[in-house]
Structure 1
Amino acid sequence: MMTDHHHQPLDFSYLIEMVGDDPIFLADFFKTFVDHIPVYLAEMENAFANGNWSKVSHCAHKMKPTFSYIGRNDVKQLVEAIEKHAQNNIGPDKIQSDIEKLKLICADICTQLEQEKLKLSAKQ
């Protein structure tokens, strides 16, 4: 069992500041996140497996802003590290372990967002 800091409460204050406290919009945002993140991760893993560094970097770049919206700057920094390492083609082992770490964290975040969605639908 990983005693990593990957299970952290999410913070939606930035998101709410940007879009307002609208349960329908928020639920929609969470759904989009939950739907898209696994796709981006799979794309990134694929690119990594093919040694396509610019694509790994591009995938990381696409994912990066999403984590600001949910108050997980630690994850944003992890994604930034993947992006930079892939850009400069350094430390494939590090990139691989960072991608693995990111997958665990994202699985966790998706679970948290599913729970938030349930809370929101109770409010509607």
Structure 2
Amino acid sequence: MSDIKIDLSYLDEVAGGNAEFIIEMIDIFLQQTPGYVSGLNGAIAEKDWKRIAEIAHKIKPTLTFMGLNDEQVQMANIEHQAREQKAYEEIVAVFDKLNSLFPSIYVALENKKVELAENT
């Protein structure tokens, strides 16, 4: 469907190669991120600059941990523009694109968990 590039090398380095820890971090991402994304969607719909920036700021490092570097850069741009209270239409467009990727990201991470579990 899309070109989701998940690179867990950073997380692997942080985890010292501990697959159980990596799986746990993926689980946390999968539990927390949908709520953050939903909250960001609401904040954007309400044009609540402060909440947009705060929620984007929370999501940003989790994308880094999951090796979603392109998505992290886009989320950082949303945060920056919200803090500057500018480019609302661009925030909406970038978020819509990101939001459409999250289901594929969740599936890809579930698949990574299976791979990791099989190799432990």
TM-score normalised according to structure 1 size: 0.88
Residue 54 of structure 1 aligns with an amino acid whose one-letter code is K
1:21 Cα shift? 1.3
Match of 2:46 in 1: 50
Residue 68 of structure 2 aligns with which residue?
Answer: 72
What secondary structure, in the 3-state scheme, does the structure 2 residue paired with 1:28 have?
Answer: helix
The yes-or-no answer on 1:83 pairing with 2:63 is: no
Paired letter, 1:57: A
Q: 1:110 aligns with which of 101, 106, 109?
A: 106
Q: 1:73 to 1:9 in 2, by over 3 A?
A: closer
The number of residues matched between the two structures is: 120
Please name the residue that 1:13 is paired with: 9
Deviations 1:53-92 (A, max 9, x none): 1100000011111122222221111001100111111122
Q: 2:33 touches 2:59 (CA, 8 Å); kept in 1? A: yes
Give the deviation of 1:99 after TM superposition.
Answer: 0.9
Q: Structure 2: 5+ residue runs without aligned partners?
A: none
User: Quick check: 2:52–2:79 contact (8 Å CA) kept in 1?
Assistant: yes
User: Which 4+ residue blocks in structure 1 deviate beyond 6 angstroms?
Assistant: none
TM-score when normalising by structure 2: 0.90
Give the C-alpha shift of residue 105 in structure 1: 2.2
Identity %: 28
For the Cα contact (< 8 Å) 1:7–1:105, is it kept in 2? no
